Chains A and B, each alone.
Chain A
Amino acid sequence: MQQIFTKAMARNIFLGSAAIFLVIYIALSVDTWRQIPVRDHADQLTDAVKRGKYLMDSNNCIGCHTVNGEGAYFAPELGNVYTRRGPEFIKAWIQTQPTGIAGRRQMPHFQFTDAQYEDLIAYFKWLSNIDTNHWPPNTQG
């Protein structure tokens, strides 16, 4: 057995399989790249949406929340928060944070302008339209 299956053969299996699967992955990614703009309506990525996204990222919202299931599990999903809560609720909610109720999970206070709220909500709306293969299972996220 040891003579039949040599180390050089093992190495070649490693190099060969790595190369083959890498090529397959790259080909699939090229196709995925073509499909993503259709699935997430990239044509609706307005400047407001982009600013809203920047606001989310630069405040580390996924440090507590998730977006399409990715992030932390300390606070609710935001990918579908627009559908679940609607724009007015979202704005009012952020403005009243933190609640200060002892023992409740606290969200920091973010000092946003009205324009920034509009950007943020535009981003949430854009997120809610992504084709995520029907995830989450219901609006509770």
Chain B
Amino acid sequence: MNNSSQSVAKPYFIAALALFLGQILFGLVAGMQYLDGSFLFPAIPFSTSRMVHTNLLIVWLLMAYMGAAYFIVPEEAQTPLFSPKLALATFWIFLIAGAATILGYLFVPYDQLAAATGNAVVPTMGRGYLEQPLPTKIGIVLVALSLLFNITMTLIKGRKTSLNVILVVALWGLALLFLPAFYFPDDTVKASYGWWWVVHGWVEGDWELILSSLLGFILIKMTGVDREIIEKWLYVIIAMTLVSGIIGIGHHYYYTGAPEYWIWLGSIFSAIEPIPFIMLIAFAFKTLFQRRREHPNKAAMLWAMGTPIVAFLGAGLWGFMITLAPVQFYAHGTNLTAAHGHLAFFGAYAMVSMAIISYAMPLLRGRTANSVRSQRWEMTGFWTMVISMMGITLALTGAGLVTMFTQRMGANPSSFMEVADSSKAFFWIREIAGVGFLLGLLSYLTSFFIPGEYAYAAEVKRAVA
């Protein structure tokens, strides 16, 4: 940390983690509704709990990315943020608008929310992840523009490192790729095709650039490895992301009404989508082994090394499992997709957010690293969350396989609800693993409340003894 303007990142990180906790609580509600269909009904129908769960995910990740941008861009540019006041104002606007939207979901029936917010004039509501009312969507654009203005001006003013340019360009990409959220034609096939510009464009394209640059930043700072080497890796990794990911979008087009050639194009290109994640693992570990310093923040290093591995498992391996068209013919629209989605979102985007928070928060609080005791809570949280998320993923995989074999195959396929009833064991495992995840998150959050700085002298003495 080299200037005080970076401290504006702090409220973003704190809010991100608070919203993350909210996301997990609503995930548990939604998971419980798989076991007891009348749980909290009609106060919170499943569609609402799920929508709150997924929308909080988006909001807290955006919060974390914005915090990361306000922390990293001035640091890399070696100049104060263009306008810390604007960044702080943007924070409050985003938080209040986000909270108001969630309250709207919870307390106003969705059709009334749509009617009250001009959805009949400019229809945008009623699509996965993009359920937000029109004013919220416009607000997201304005908040993104404010961020982009602020960090672009900072970049122009200061040192232009490749890493910083990649990060700023990726954040521009994030904002531009949100714009198709306003395009919702009457033709369902076209609507679905355009919906993937946002969703695939973010999670299998642009966000991988953000992920790579955040990871690159953490590794430069923590390992002391030459920036030139790290930035070269970054370019190759993100090149591979786009080589595989752009046409790889075709794996969403197989069975939604798009032409047949997407079956071939999508299968071939999405099959190589795991490669950038494998490269990310190689990059992270090669950098770790070549480190020139021992950073006392072991917890941040654990997040930084864990991120590419779990991202590879979730996005790469679980993604590959369902990506080839003949497999997806049976797996499409089953909990196999949910399994992949959970592990990929967590491994790639939640974990990299916690990695940057883990690295930056001690610095923002005036420490090089947290005390060993605090880091122990954090690393316990890391392992508990990672193992629990594996449990959730395996349980959803089991449920998805049951659907594949009993509802999609055979001479006498079962109905949706028959299959759901026979999958209850998997939904129990998922819910129990979800409780485990909550405990891991609480352990992680506890680490922030344990006082004290990393004590070099005491740790050296202990190591010698």
**Chain A residues engaging chain B, CB cutoff 8 angstroms:** 2, 5-7, 10-11, 13-14, 17-18, 21-22, 24-25, 28-29, 31-33, 35-37, 39-40, 42, 45, 49-50, 53-54, 56-64, 66-77, 98, 100-106, 108-109, 127, 130-133, 135-138, 140-141
Contacts and interface: CB of A to CB of B under 8 A. Distances in A.
Interface in B332-351: 332-335, 337-338
B416 A140 contact: yes
B231 interface: yes
Contact of B162 (A7, A35, A77): A7
A132 B192 CA distance: 12
21 contacts: A7-B228, A10-B236, A22-B246, A36-B189, A37-B187, A39-B189, A49-B186, A58-B123, A64-B45, A64-B46, A68-B255, A69-B255, A72-B46, A74-B46, A105-B417, A127-B188, A130-B189, A133-B254, A133-B260, A137-B413, A140-B416
Contact of B257 (A39, A61, A103): A39
Given A17-B239, A103-B37, A33 B190 contact: yes
B45 to A, nearest CB: 5
A53 B255 contact: no
A141 to B, nearest CB: 7
Which of B48, B125, B189, B261 gathers the greatest number of chain A CB atoms within 10 Å?
Answer: B189
Contacts, number: 221
Give the bracket for the number of chain B residues in contact with chain A.
35 or more
Contacts of B242: 14, 17-18, 21-22
A54 B110 CA distance: 13
Interface string B360-387: 0000000000000000000000000000
Interface in B187-235: 187-190, 192-193, 195, 228-229, 231-232, 235
Given A7-B235, A53-B188, 12 more contacts: A35-B258, A57-B127, A61-B47, A62-B127, A63-B45, A63-B110, A74-B33, A98-B41, A105-B420, A132-B257, A137-B329, A137-B413
A108 B45 contact: yes
A57 B123 contact: yes
A60 B238 contact: no
Given A21-B242, A137-B409, A102 B38 contact: yes
Given A54-B123, A58-B115, A36 B187 contact: yes
Nearest to B110: A60
Contacts of A13: 235-236, 239
A104 B37 contact: yes
A58 B47 contact: no
Interface string B404-429: 00011100011111001000000000
Nearest to B330: A137
Contact of A62 (B45, B123, B128, B193): B128
A53 B186 contact: yes
B459 interface: no
Given A28-B265, A103-B37, A135-B329, A14 B239 contact: yes
Contacts of A35: 258-259
B407 to A, nearest CB: 5
Given A40-B188, A140-B414, A24 B247 contact: yes
B446 to A, nearest CB: 33
A45 B186 contact: yes
A75 B420 CA distance: 9
B257 A130 contact: yes
Nearest 4 CB-CB pairings of A with B: A63-B47, A57-B126, A69-B333, A105-B37
B258 A36 contact: yes
Which of B45, B338, B414 gathers the greatest number of chain A CB atoms within 10 Å?
Answer: B45
Given A28-B265, A98-B42, A133-B254, A39 B188 contact: no
Contacts of B256: 68-70, 132
B51 A63 contact: yes
Contact of A74 (B34, B332, B407, B414): B34
